[in-house]
Structure 1
Amino acid sequence: MHVDLGGVLGATPGVSRDSLERLDEQVATAHERIAAGRDDHERGYAALNLPARVDLDAIRSAVAPFTDAEAVLTVGIGGSALGAATLADALAGPDDPDVYVLDNVDPEHVPRLLDSLPLERTAVNVVSKSGTTAETLSNFLVVREAMADAGVDWTERTVVTTGESGNLRALADAHDLPSLPVPDGVPGRFSVLSPVGLAVAAIQGHDLDAIRAGAAEAADSLSGSLFETPAYAYGAAAYALANRGATTNAMMPYAERLETFAEWFAQLWAESLGKDGLGQTPTRALGATDQHSQLQLYRAGPREKLVTLLRPTDRPACPIPETDLEGLSYLGGSTLGDLLDAEFDATGASLAASGVPVIRVEIDGIDERSLGALLYGMEAACVLYGELAGVSTFTQPAVEWGKRAARGLLGGGEFEEAEAVEERTSLRIDP
């Protein structure tokens, strides 16, 4: 992962080179805390040890019965699904099984998706650390019933990733299902480089060793200076810009295959850093598509945005045919890749010209090694930002509040959060 901070130096809000030099002293202190947390395998910091600890052979063994599947259905939510989806969408080839995700309990979407799948040739990947997640377990019960109705033995088509206890672990043990562990001390949104994110990649036949190697290279690059560590450069600059008013971070990849990565990044950034009135709101865009809409807001709207432009430097060419159409002849002889790179550079220049801070992130290509490095790098950037901001990066109290409220409303126990829902203020306008 390569990071260019030139687009923040003269922006408004922006960060000067002198400010970055001063901030680097705080980065050094934060790095010492991160290193200590990794050494002690503390909760959260343990995620940054995954490249050295993940058991790839265990993953391959667990999914071996499903490597001939025509479709893969991941049943999870949040971090239990987005990492796997990011890798699947980025790496999918024409001969790979199609990957689908049930991460919502939409009563129209779930049965429609199941009706469209060849259930007898579908691998079901169920992921829940606690084994009690209401959305995941509810969807899985629906999937299991649909398989039974179709005459499919669901026990022969299911792999489970969960913790050491809970309903899902009990189910896996009772039916002797192949299973994988959710690593201790790793919050779901940081779990992409564990079995949580890698099982689907293994079923698709992707190179897990290369994913791990890319992540390990990013881990080895961590040092006490933002000027030597791309991940820290990104996290420190984002933190400094947020303090100066750039409280929105628009992640804008210039590659269709990285669109789901922007969703993964949004969860990581929002759930980790949105604490105590602090944080940076992540938004998602896609280059070049959203240049024709959102760019208007980024350039001419409120000055509270950082735009992160992301691209692979190596991409297919796809020649543009010659044409004699008036005004379009200049396109002939170039490629779609050339055009997309020109759009990337033009967007960066357009934003810079209007004083909007821009960080450019580049990866070598969209392959296993580069994705491993990108995912690890953004996790490390997030952890550093949290250290600099003094927030509890690895907790999610607001999320847990909503879970307790929903459980109480469904009769799953007595929770004061559910009572607060019942007592909400209403101002309803009817036709």
Structure 2
Amino acid sequence: MEVDIGNALGSVATPGVSRGSLERLDERVADAHERIEAGIGDREHGYAALALPETADPDAIRAAVDPIDCDTLLVVGIGGSALGAATIADALDLDIDVHTLDNVDPDHTRTLLDSLDLSRTALHVVSRSGTTAETLANFLVAREAMESAGVDWTERTLVTTGEEGNLRGLAERHDLPALDVPAGVPGRFSALSTVALPVAALGGGDVEGLLAGAGAEAEGLTGSLFESPAYAYGATTYALAQRGWRVNAMMPYAESLETFAEWFAQLWAESLGKEGVGQLPARALGATDQHSQLQLYRAGPRDAMVSLVRPRERGDVSIPETDLEGLSYLGGSSLGELLDAEFEATEASLAAAGRPNVRVEIDRVDAHELGGLLYGMEAACVLAGELYLVPTFTQPAVEWGKRAARGLLGGGEFEEAAAVEEKERLVVD
């Protein structure tokens, strides 16, 4: 992963970050790096995620998926229990179709299950606690659909969960293959673990390549933002947020990385959005959203930075010659050349308007580079959390909503549920 922060500098963006400010900030980065290194070494909660390239066990993952033969994998989870797998599946050329049940919209769940050949579908059910309401509800629905179709769900289900909980008990009762969620790793940081790597293992993907790419990025973490791409990204986004750029639009220029932007949105929002600080992550896709969102980022409120991501190498498609008036310039070029021109034009357009943007490049979209990109963004997020002085690995606002929903469903007495009845109403019909 390479990061170019030139268009975030004060010579381009208004307001931007001066080189002197970055040099002063680098002293804090050095201190934060020491804290991060110690946390990794001690496998502290959260920091343990950055040790995954070393601690993940590809052999255990392959052993767990070995009994399962499928054409389609249905990942049943929510948030970090599904987004990492979806990102890997969409980015890599796997041998199986992958779908996720990461919401409890009944229309979507029924439509998806009805569309699948359940006799050739496997389930990967992911919940650290084993009690996640949305995940367990979708699993029960999917299990019933399999039973109704005459399919033995016990032969087609893999579980990733904690040492205790309902899901662990179910796995033991039915002798299901089960993997342990990694200790001390929050779900949104778990893409390089037993939570998401089984999708690659089942689909013939390069699990070792993902971890090797992450490991290479880990080796590049130093005590300076001028030497570490991950820290350059984390520190620069922090510095821009301090100057009022409170939106971070993640805009990959590759269809295969569209879900990566969704994964990034959870990572950035849930980790850093605390105590009145953080950045609002927006999801965009180049070049598609040049025709929609870019208008806002270039000419709207001065609060949005843009992160532009692209692979340097990709497959290509030639554009045929044409005699259509005004389009002859396209003939003889390619879609790849056009996409690169769109990327660079967007970058220049934002810079010309004084809007900060950061370029993130990988060599290509493959397992090694994807592993590095995922790890790099996780490390950037951890560093940003250190600079914001927030508890990066907690999510109290999310837990509040979970308790309220559980109370409404009769899952216990939770004072948060009472707030639903106290809602202020002004209905216009």
Deviates further, 75-84 or 106-115: 106-115
Distance 1:5 1:278 in 2: 22
Superposed CA deviations along residues 141-174 of structure 1, whole A, max 9, x for unmatched, are 0000000000000000100000000000000000
Map 1:61-72 → 2, pairs under 5 A: 61-66=63-68, 68-72=69-73
Map 1:378-389 → 2, pairs under 5 A: 378-389=377-388
Give the TM-score, by structure 2 length: 0.99
Gaps of 5+ in 1: none
Residue 3 of structure 2 corresponds to 3
Residue 401 of structure 1 corresponds to 400
Q: Cα offset for 1:325?
A: 1.1
Superposed CA deviations along residues 83-114 of structure 1, whole A, max 9, x for unmatched, are 00000000035xx2110000000011111110
Q: Say whether the 8 Å CA contact 1:218–1:376 is kept in structure 2.
A: yes
Map 1:88-103 → 2, pairs under 5 A: 88-93=89-94, 96-103=95-102
Q: Cα offset for 1:332?
A: 1.1
Map 1:238-253 → 2, pairs under 5 A: 238-253=237-252
Letter paired with 1:2: E
Distance 2:15 2:177 in 1: 52
Residue 25 of structure 1 corresponds to 27
Aligned residue-pair number: 427
Q: Say whether the 8 Å CA contact 1:13–1:304 is kept in structure 2.
A: no
Q: Cα offset for 1:399?
A: 0.1
Distance 1:266 1:161 in 2: 23
Residue 310 of structure 1 corresponds to 309
Map 1:282-293 → 2, pairs under 5 A: 282-293=281-292
Residue 88 of structure 2 corresponds to 87
Distance 1:425 1:296 in 2: 35
Distance 1:185 1:341 in 2: 40
Secondary structure in structure 2 of the residue aligned to 1:183: coil
Q: Residue 337 in 1 paired to residue 336 in 2? A: yes
Map 1:334-373 → 2, pairs under 5 A: 334-373=333-372
Distance 1:203 1:336 in 2: 32
What value does the CA root-mean-square deviation take over the aligned residues?
Answer: 0.6
Distance 2:331 2:66 in 1: 47
Letter paired with 2:15: P
Q: Cα offset for 1:259?
A: 0.2
Distance 1:38 1:72 in 2: 33
Give the TM-score, by structure 1 length: 0.98
Residue 421 of structure 2 corresponds to 422
Gaps of 5+ in 2: none
Letter paired with 1:228: E
Q: Cα offset for 1:425?
A: 1.3
Q: Say whether the 8 Å CA contact 1:210–1:372 is kept in structure 2.
A: yes
Q: Say whether the 8 Å CA contact 1:311–1:362 is kept in structure 2.
A: yes
Superposed CA deviations along residues 107-130 of structure 1, whole A, max 9, x for unmatched, are 111111100000000011100000
Distance 2:15 2:124 in 1: 44
Deviates further, 4-13 or 274-283: 4-13
Q: Residue 155 in 1 paired to residue 154 in 2? A: yes
Superposed CA deviations along residues 52-97 of structure 1, whole A, max 9, x for unmatched, are 000100001111122x41111000000000000000000035xx21
Residue 193 of structure 1 corresponds to 192
Q: Say whether the 8 Å CA contact 1:306–1:356 is kept in structure 2.
A: yes
Distance 2:67 2:18 in 1: 55
Runs of 4+ deviating beyond 2 Å? none
Superposed CA deviations along residues 384-422 of structure 1, whole A, max 9, x for unmatched, are 000000000000000000000000000000000001112
Q: Cα offset for 1:322?
A: 1.1
Superposed CA deviations along residues 334-358 of structure 1, whole A, max 9, x for unmatched, are 1111000000000000000000000
Residue 12 of structure 1 corresponds to 14
Distance 1:381 1:41 in 2: 18
Distance 2:93 2:406 in 1: 36
Distance 1:92 1:398 in 2: 36
Q: Cα offset for 1:278?
A: 0.6
Secondary structure in structure 2 of the residue aligned to 1:100: strand
Distance 1:343 1:384 in 2: 31
Deviates further, 229-238 or 84-93: 84-93
Q: Cα offset for 1:136?
A: 0.1
Distance 1:121 1:293 in 2: 40
Letter paired with 1:301: G
Distance 1:315 1:13 in 2: 35
Residue 374 of structure 1 corresponds to 373
Q: Cα offset for 1:8?
A: 0.6
Q: Say whether the 8 Å CA contact 1:31–1:224 is kept in structure 2.
A: yes
Map 1:100-139 → 2, pairs under 5 A: 100-139=99-138
Map 1:38-53 → 2, pairs under 5 A: 38-53=40-55
